[in-house]
Amino acid sequence: MEPSITKQETVVLPAARARKKKKMTADRLLAFSFILPSIVLVAIFVYGFIGWTGYVSLSNWNTLVPDFSFAGLKNYIFLFQDFRFQADLRNTLIFTILFIAVVAIVGQLLAIFLDQKIRGESIFRNIFFFPMALSFVVTGVVWQWLLNPTTGVNLFLKKFGLESMWYTDTNILAGFKVGKIEFGVPVAIIAVVIAAVWQMTGFSLAMYLAGLRAIPEELKEAARMDGASEFTIYRKVIIPLLKPITVSVIIIMAHISLKIFDLIYAMTGPGANFVTDVPGVYMFEATFRGNYYANGAAIAIIMLLSVAIFIVPYLISSRKGES
């Protein structure tokens, strides 16, 4: 009897295997068909529409009625010679640098503080995190009230001889003339940075905390055994290990800050002399308030390129790191 069983098996197996293989390829097709709609949507609505915006940015469509006649780089040239757009570039640059620096440094410091076996650590953490659950619009509305030039914060600061106009200040610190604008740090931008930092520090804190938790305790223990002080351990061991987190924080915050629109739109608007204007606000007003579609599209493409400088290398390197 035994041989016949094996014989039967050898007969059955190839057929079953063939069936399975067929099922596998059918399943693979099925799997692909489930992701296909998303691929098509992203292809059209991300890449296709970026292309379309690019096309609009090269057209003469600066009226209510679409006009797709080719204008070359006219809109871009206009922007780079435009007082408002030059001010936007300055503001974005200054805002991005200040915002990233404060968010990264304060986030890292707070993470290290909270990692000291602090009592009530979760309460502290929750207080630092909660602004992230709010909308930039809410943040803008509240801080507009808080930093109103004649309000409480200022009455408080006045006692120390500081009188700030906050976001209504049109002064440019350390200014010198570049193009049509005064380059430097617009005082009003600092007010917006404070609001943005208030909202986003929790983000970098969360990332740094996750990074700290991933560092094995033995590493600290070993350094302690070698007689290193706590301070030295952080300076020589922990902080260097947090470098990849810092890179991520910088990239995430940079792309947020280069795209920023709602916070500024809700809090200050473009401001007198465009001291708090950014490309996001200009794009919105040019396109949807002024019907300068081609100009708006050109601003959008410049914003996209500035974000891509940070994001594309980040995406490529994280893909490499995965495989």
Partner 1 sequence: MALSRLSKPLLYVLLIALCLFFLMPIYVMLVTSLKPLDQVTLSEMWKLPTVLDFSSYSTAFEKLLPNLLNSFYLVIPATVISALLGSLNGYVLSKWKFKGADILFTLILFGMFIPYQSILIPMIQFLRDVGLYNTIPGLVFVHVVYGIPITTLMFRNFYASIPDEMIESAKIDGAGFLRIFRYIILPLSITGFVVVAIWQFTNIWNEFLFAVTITTSEQQPIMVALQNLSGSQIVQWNVQMAGALLAALPTLLVYIFLGKYFVKGLLAGSVKG
Q: Which residue has the tokens 């007969």?
A: 11
When the beta carbons of 127 and 178 are compared against partner 1, the nearer one is: 127
The secondary structure element, H or E, covering residue 320 is helix 293-322
Q: Scanning residues 147 to 166, which ones bind partner 1 (CB under 8 A)?
A: 148, 150-152, 155
Residue 185, H or E segment: strand 181-186
- Structural contact between residues 124 and 114, judged by C-beta atoms closer than 8 angstroms: yes
- From the list 18-26, 78-86, 160-168, 184-192, the region that binds partner 1 by CB under 8 A is 18-26
In terms of CB distance, is 87 or 258 closer to partner 1?
258
Q: Which of 116, 126, 296 is nearest to 220 (CA)?
A: 116
C-alpha torsion 165→166→171→177, nearest 10: -170
Q: Which is nearer to partner 1, 4 or 116 (CB)?
A: 116
Residue 292: CB minimum distance to partner 1, A: 11
Structure tokens at 58: 């090269």
Is 205 exposed, middle or buried, given 0-12, 13-18 or 19+ CB atoms closer than 10 A? buried
Q: Are 57 and 300 in contact (CB under 8 A)?
A: yes
d(CA 120, CA 205): 16
Angle in degrees, 0-180, between the axes of helices 293-322 and 49-57, rounded to the nearest 10: 140
Binding mask 24-43 for partner 1 (x = CB under 8 A): x-xxx-xxx-xx-xxx-xx-
Shortest spacing between CB 180 and partner 1, in angstroms: 23
Q: Which x/- pattern over 121-150 shows residues binding partner 1 (rule: CB under 8 A)?
A: ---x-xxxxxxxxxxxxxxxxxxxxx-x-x
Which residues from 232-251 bind partner 1, rule CB under 8 A? 248
Q: Is 288 in the site for partner 1 (CB under 8 A)?
A: yes
63 touches partner 1 by CB under 8 A: no
Max CA-CA distance within the chain? 105
Do the Cβ atoms of 294 and 75 come closer than 8 Å? yes
| C-beta of 155 vs 174, nearer to partner 1 | 155
38 is written with which tokens? Answer: 């998303």
Q: Which stretch binds partner 1 (CB under 8 A): 92-100, 106-114, 172-180, 233-241?
A: 106-114
Q: Closest separation between CB of residue 177 and partner 1, Å?
A: 29
Site string for partner 1, 290-319 (x = CB under 8 A): ---x--xx-xxx-xx--x---xx--xx-xx
Using CB under 8 A, which of 7, 9, 18, 20 touches partner 1? 20
Of 77 and 316, CB closest to partner 1 = 316
Residues 175-204 that bind partner 1 (CB under 8 A): 198, 203
Amino acid identity at 45: F
Residue type, 65: V
Q: Which of residues 250-279 bind partner 1 (CB under 8 A)?
A: 252, 255, 258-259, 261-262, 265-266, 279
Nearer to partner 1, 42 or 272 (CB): 42
- How would you classify residue 273: left for phi > 0, otherwise alpha for psi between -120 and 50, otherwise beta? left
Give the residue with the Cβ less far from partner 1, 81 or 135: 135
Name which of 140 and 182 has its Cβ closer to partner 1: 140
258 within 8 A of 307, measured Cβ to Cβ: yes
Stretch that binds partner 1, among 84-92, 157-165, 175-183, 285-293 (CB under 8 A): 285-293
- Residue 266 CA to residue 142 CA, distance in Å, equals 9
Contact between 78 and partner 1 (CB under 8 A)?
no
